[in-house]
Every structure is written in C-alpha cells, then in structure tokens.
Amino acid sequence: MPADEKPTASVWTRPRRPQREHLTREQIVAAAIELLDAEGVEALSMRKLGTRLNAAATSLYRHVANKDELIELVVDDVYGELRAPAAPDRAQWRAAVTRTATDLRAMTLRHPWIAPELGQTGLVHIGPNAMRMASGLLAQFEAAGFPADERDRAVGTLMAYVIGIASSEAAYLSLIARSGRTEKEWVAGLRPAFDDASRQHPRLREGSSARQDMHPRQIRDDDFAYGLDRVLDGLAARLDA
C-alpha cells in the first residue's frame, strides 16, 4: 500500500478503545441485534439504540465511530451463532460443507436484516467469527483436494448460492410477516390466483400441483438442499477433472 494511501475504515482495523464506563460494547451489540430483529435496518439509529439502552448517543460513540461500525460488529456477532467448523476430513468434506451452508441459511432466516449486509458485492467481513467460518470452509476444500488457486473460488461460489437463496427467502418471509398471516395461510390464499393465471401454462401447473399438499417450509428446505447438492456436484466434478 502506498505511504499516502489510508487503509479502508473498519471497526476491526483500529485499536479498541478502553472501557471507562458501565456501558460495554457487548451490551450495545446485543441491544442492536434485538432492535434489528424486531424492526429491521431502517429502524436502527444511534439515538434509538441509546434510548433502548437508557444511555446518551454520545456514550455509544465511545465504542463505535458510526452506524457502519456498529453493523460490522452485529454481523460478526451473528456469525458467532454458527457451529464451530468440523475438523478437515477428505472423506467428510462434503458433509461438513453442507452443514455449514445449512447453518448459514438458518442464521440468515433468523435475522432477515442481515441478508443485504452479507450480499453486498465486494464486501468482506473480517471480524473473528466471520474469519473463523471462512477459514473452516477453506480447510474443508483443501482437505477435499482442491488446488490452492481454486479454494477461494469454491468458497465464493458456495457463499453466493447460500446468501442468494437465503436473501430471497428472507424477503419473502418478511413480506408474509407484514401480512399478519402464517406462511401456509399466505400460500393458500394465493393459490386460486395462481391456478387461474397458470391455465395457459401447463408446465407451471404441473410442477406446482405436484407439491401443493406439502408445507411451504418443507418445499423451501427441499429446494435449498437440491440447489446446494447441485452446486457441490459441480465443485466435486473439479476434483475428478
């Protein structure tokens, strides 16, 4: 890096400020996650978070410089919900990657606000929990036999699939939540309109009719597993090549 070029600003690239008061960074992060889960990113502000913590916004700024830094912290804290990566094992790499991918999708659906943060193009999360997860995935692909110049691409391909489909699911579930109905009720209410609109499209009717008695959540789970298997099939084919 040239001497006159500053590093990209991040909460992880500057020293943590000494704690000199009762309010801690951990309390701020926990309260921010509660607020985000309840009301979404649009509702998050330092002033509103301060009110939730019964503290002045200036107290928060002693721990985080701005809202962007706060988002970095809460994203990494949520990454901490993922189970520890399994030990690298050539015979079990696919099962281990599947578990991590499934956990990541579940994490995103528990915290729908996180999907856009994970999906921002070019954004790299360098917090300890995110790095642990990424390193664990790289270790699995290394154990599987992927060459060094393909491991990052393999992890990127996997993450693009998981984050992409989880983002769509999170948006869909948020829409349903705003309706005040359950997912099953919402889908059932849409069914007559879909049947009418698809009369001239038998292929659409055939696929939908075959699964109309399944719970919508089971359909989503099955679709995710199908897509994940196909992604891993494609990656595993590289090992054969």
Radius of gyration of the chain (CA): 21
pLDDT of residue 170: 92
Convert the pLDDT of each residue in 206-218 to its tens digit: 777 667 788 999 9
**Domain ranges (residues) in the chain:** 11-79, 90-180+211-240
Convert the pLDDT of each residue in 168-226 to its tens digit: 999 999 899 989 999 999 999 988 888 888 888 888 777 776 677 889 999 999 999 99
pLDDT of residue 182: 94
Is the pLDDT at 20 greater than 80? The verdict is no
Helix axes 67-79, 128-144, angle to 10 degrees: 50
pLDDT, the chain, mean = 88
CATH 1.25.40.10 is right for the domain spanning 11-79: no
Convert the pLDDT of each residue in 129-168 to its tens digit: 999 999 999 999 999 999 999 999 999 999 999 999 999 9
Is the pLDDT at 11 greater than 80? The verdict is no
Range 120-135 burial, b when 16+ CB lie within 10 A, else e: eeeeebebebbebbbe
Convert the pLDDT of each residue in 84-139 to its tens digit: 888 999 999 999 999 999 999 999 999 999 988 887 645 567 889 999 999 999 99
| Cα three-residue angle 31-22-60, rounded to 5 degrees | 50
pLDDT of residue 202: 82
Fold of 90-180+211-240: Tetracycline Repressor; domain 2 (1.10.357)
Prediction pTM value: 0.85
Q: What is the DSSP string of 57-111?
A: HHHHHTT-SSHHHHHHHHHHHHHTTSPPPPPP-GGGHHHHHHHHHHHHHHHHHHS
pLDDT of residue 208: 72
| Contacting residues for 110 by C-beta, under 8 A, at least 6 apart | 37, 81
How many Cα atoms within 13 Å fall on the side-chain side of residue 13?
9
